[in-house]
């Protein structure tokens, strides 16, 4: 497995250096080696629910017809 890295740009406008940090650094704070600014490594792209740790949304399963909009005979 190749170790993937996360590329982030230094928020310091006078620096703007691209930093490559390991995936394990997500959610943590790294320091720019160029200017010393602390940069928070963003988490993986996620919908970011208001309730952290919530269970995953129930996805519609293939094959099961929708149980609505059905005329009651
Ligand atoms: Zn920097």
The residues spanned by each domain of the chain are 5-40
Predicted local distance difference test score (pLDDT) of residue 8 = 93
Indicate the pTM of the whole model.
Answer: 0.54
CA 8 – ligand 1 centroid, Å: 10
CB distance 10 to 19 below 8 Å: yes
**Reduced to 3 states, what is the DSSP secondary structure of residue 24?**
helix
CA 60 – ligand 1 centroid, Å: 45
CA 7 – ligand 1 centroid, Å: 13
Predicted local distance difference test score (pLDDT) of residue 20 = 94
Digitized pLDDT (tens) for each residue of the chain, 73 residues in all: 567 899 999 999 999 999 999 999 999 999 999 999 999 998 876 666 676 655 666 666 777 666 676 676 6
Predicted local distance difference test score (pLDDT) of residue 52 = 60
Angle at 48 between CA 43 and CA 49, to 5 degrees: 150
| CA–CA separation, 68 and 73 (whole Å) | 13
């Amino acid at each position: 497995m190749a170790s993937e890295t996360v590329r982030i740009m230094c928020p310091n406008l006078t620096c703007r250096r691209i930093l490559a940090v390991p995936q394990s650094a997500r959610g943590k704070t790294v320091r720019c080696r160029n200017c010393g600014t602390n940069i928070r490594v963003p988490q993986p792209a996620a919908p970011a629910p208001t309730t952290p740790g919530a269970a995953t949304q129930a996805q519609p399963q293939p094959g099961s017809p929708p149980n609505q909009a059905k005329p009651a005979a």
